[in-house]
A and B are shown apart, each in its own frame.
Chain A
Amino acid sequence: MVEIVLQNIQKNFGDFIAVKNSNLKVKTGEFFVMLGPSGCGKTTTLRMIAGLEIPTSGNIMLDNNNVTSLRASQRDIAFVFQLFALYPHLNVEKNISFPLRMQKMKSSEIKERVREVSQLLRIEHLLKSNVSTLAGGDRQRVALGRAIVRRPAAFLMDEPLGTLDTEFREKMCLELRKLHNRIQATTVYVTHDQTEAMTMGDKIAVMNQGKILQNGTPNEIYSKPRSKFVGSFIGSPSMNFIPIDSAIEKGATSIFIDGNEFNIPEQHEGTIADKNFIGIRPEKMTLSENQGISGEVYASEYLGTRNVLTINTEVGQFKVRVSKDIKVSPLENVKISFDSHSGIIFDGTSDKALQSAYMTI
């Protein structure tokens, strides 16, 4: 088990910068998720850790050893590919034992290891089957088996659940997490699915356009996004951004929106721009009787335990998550208020979150 550290990693493909000057630290035994929209550089970063791409500049350290220029085969890292990359000309058993056969291991020991892994993954009955006849979930397990059997220093997974259907994906999410708890191997997991990231990760790094925007625990990422992008990318429905038509000074405790005064956490920083935003999660918004931003109900989505209302106001369209017992009909006039403790001010020019009594990271 190793600690993985990326120092000022950059990767250019011609003129295109895939990964920009990124720093990252994955602690020993951590389940680390890299999350971002497609093309954000997360897979490239993973491939650089694996040694399948060589960074243009920067260093990759595994337990304080600089492996930047080492070949993939010399890094002792296992990689699970999005499409599994099971060798179609070998059966399940041979696929799993493939990495071991390289190490000149005794055949009895190989057998024992394969048996152990297939037991762990519950694929013993499939060992003799051809990989092309397997269902998606079983392929997934075989691919995992091939990674685990080697007992590598770290696991890298590139959207391994991406091709599974929803029901199965949730199941595999749990299984993967259970497996990780059991073998406690350092894992870097790439996905564009925030549910996967939130349910599995000890830590999440959100990437966009080649940059790591924020990394922290799922709770930190969700409740204290450091930029507008993170706020809008994480959470479904995503964070509401209410425009504020004035600069906000250091020490401010209230703002005006649509003629209403709202309390906010005490600001530790002031904005530079004149037009700024306050970000509020849909569940931190409420319909209020007396004071609030007035708007008209546009749609109401019933989600079993909750109701998500889409409300059009003078200052924009917002999603509000309310209890299922609140019944409103479309076109009804309502007023929206929000929880004053968790509002985050985002600077209009830099899109960065400002430090406040609440936003402390």
Chain B
Amino acid sequence: MSSAINSVRSPLEPSSFSRKSAATLIIIYAFIALVPIAWMVMTSFKSANDAVSYPPKVVFEPSMEGWVNLFTQRSRQSKEYLKSLPPPETWYEELVRSRQMVIAGPSRFLGRFLNSLIIGFGSTFLSVFFGALAGYAFSRFKIPLKEDLLFFILSTRMFPPIAVAVPIFLMYRKLGLSDTHLGMIILYTMVNLSLAVWLLKGFMDEIPLEYEEAAMVDGYTRLQAFFKIVIPQAMTGIAATSIFCMIFAWNEYAFAVLLTFSEAQTAPPFIPTIIGEGGLDWPAIAAGTVMFLVPVMIFTVVLRKHLLRGITFGAVRK
């Protein structure tokens, strides 16, 4: 009898069996998804030998070698020369000397990483800004040929962006936009804009017109109402759109290889070049990849709150 009472539950609630199996599935999936990332983080703290040892080492002596290698350029020297040098001043100099090398200077990684940040965030901001303006216009105004325009905007996403690589390459060379931050920002903005317009139009359609009307009656112009009322309420949509745009711009490889070589080169085309610099330096590559992962992860985690809030936001009374 008591078991019968225990099993009483609302038909809308999942049974404890299905809840448990769902949890198990999620844990298994998270584990599978996280193993490569965990392995990458571990590799970045291994010594060069440990990184390639077989069977693979799970327990190892941590070393900062990969990280030091990532940020420095080194040159191999004879033992005699190393002995003639004054004792190393820092722990990383010591580490490099123990591998019979000296630090020749900083590597180009930090610059490439900064390029990635500038181009990634710059293009994300512009995509979302213009996407919000265009999405609002499409959502609120009577625009002749609205459906066709929207379809046209979407159609730019119907082919892979790289399909237009050659014309863009030629155009950029003529315009002097090759290997510039501005050029890359424009390019990624262009690719992301169609997505941003569609997503944000959808989110803005959900915001009742009355809020803006209330603001306009209260003495605000339409543009002021847009910034004070529409934008704050579209935050969920803006967060989601930003994440999508950011991930694309951050990870983009093909155009970056094609259009950037030094000044504006981003991290994705740079990281593979580490391989060529001093043999297969797996710990340095892993360190570079970990670094590369961090900003987009922080960005997503910060905006995640907005994403979750969007689901539970219940202030609109319909």
**Which A residues are closer than 8 A to B by beta carbons?**
50-52, 71-73, 75-79, 81, 83-89, 98-99, 102-103, 130-132, 139, 146, 150, 163
Q: Complex Cα distance A85/B229, Å?
A: 11
Q: Is the C-beta of B211 less than 8 angstroms from some C-beta in chain A?
A: yes
Q: Complex Cα distance A70/B164, Å?
A: 48
Q: A132-B315, A163-B317 are in contact. Are A85 and B220 (CB under 8 A)?
A: no
Q: Complex Cα distance A89/B230, Å?
A: 10
Q: Which residues of chain A are within 8 angstroms of B48 by Cβ–Cβ distance?
A: none
What's the least CB distance linking B236 to chain A, in Å?
11
Q: List 13 A-B contacts (CB under 8 A).
A: A72-B217, A73-B220, A83-B210, A83-B318, A84-B317, A85-B210, A86-B315, A87-B211, A87-B233, A102-B224, A103-B219, A139-B317, A146-B214
Q: A84-B317, A132-B314 are in contact. Are A78 and B217 (CB under 8 A)?
A: yes
Please tell me which one of the listed residues B211, B221, B224, B314 contacts residue A85 in the complex, with CB atoms under 8 A apart.
B211
What's the least CB distance linking B210 to chain A, in Å?
4
Q: A83-B210, A85-B210 are in contact. Are A77 and B217 (CB under 8 A)?
A: yes
Q: Complex Cα distance A146/B235, Å?
A: 24
Residue of A nearest to B218 (CB): A99
Residue of A nearest to B229 (CB): A87
Please tell me which one of the listed residues A52, A77, A79, A88 contacts residue B315 in the complex, with CB atoms under 8 A apart.
A88
Residue of A nearest to B217 (CB): A79
Q: Complex Cα distance A99/B208, Å?
A: 19
Please tell me which one of the listed residues A78, A84, A163 contacts residue B218 in the complex, with CB atoms under 8 A apart.
A78
Q: Complex Cα distance A86/B213, Å?
A: 11
Q: Which residues of chain B are within 8 angstroms of A89 by Cβ–Cβ distance?
A: 232-233, 235, 315
Contact A146 B313 (CB under 8 A): no
Please tell me which one of the listed residues B215, B217, B233 contacts residue A88 in the complex, with CB atoms under 8 A apart.
B233
Q: Which residues of chain A are within 8 angstroms of B313 by Cβ–Cβ distance?
A: 88, 132
Q: Which residues of chain B are within 8 angstroms of A51 by Cβ–Cβ distance?
A: 216-217
Contact B216 A52 (CB under 8 A): yes
**Which B residues are closer than 8 A to A by beta carbons?**
208, 210-211, 213-221, 224, 229, 232-233, 235, 313-318
Contact B232 A52 (CB under 8 A): no
Contact B217 A98 (CB under 8 A): no
Q: Which residues of chain A are within 8 angstroms of B208 by Cβ–Cβ distance?
A: 83, 85
Please tell me which one of the listed residues A52, A132, A163 contacts residue B213 in the complex, with CB atoms under 8 A apart.
A52
Residue of B nearest to A84 (CB): B317
What's the least CB distance linking A328 to chain B, in Å?
46
Q: Complex Cα distance A98/B211, Å?
A: 12
Residue of A nearest to B318 (CB): A83
Extra contacts, 15 of them, besides A72-B217, A85-B210 (Cβ < 8 A), are A50-B213, A52-B217, A75-B217, A83-B210, A85-B211, A85-B214, A87-B233, A88-B315, A89-B232, A98-B215, A99-B219, A102-B218, A132-B313, A146-B214, A150-B219
What's the least CB distance linking A79 to chain B, in Å?
4
What's the least CB distance linking A118 to chain B, in Å?
17
Contact A102 B315 (CB under 8 A): no
Q: Which residues of chain A are within 8 angstroms of B216 by Cβ–Cβ distance?
A: 51-52, 71-73
Q: A81-B210, A88-B233, A89-B233 are in contact. Are A102 and B219 (CB under 8 A)?
A: yes
Q: Which residues of chain B are within 8 angstroms of A75 by Cβ–Cβ distance?
A: 217
Q: Which residues of chain B are within 8 angstroms of A99 by Cβ–Cβ distance?
A: 218-219
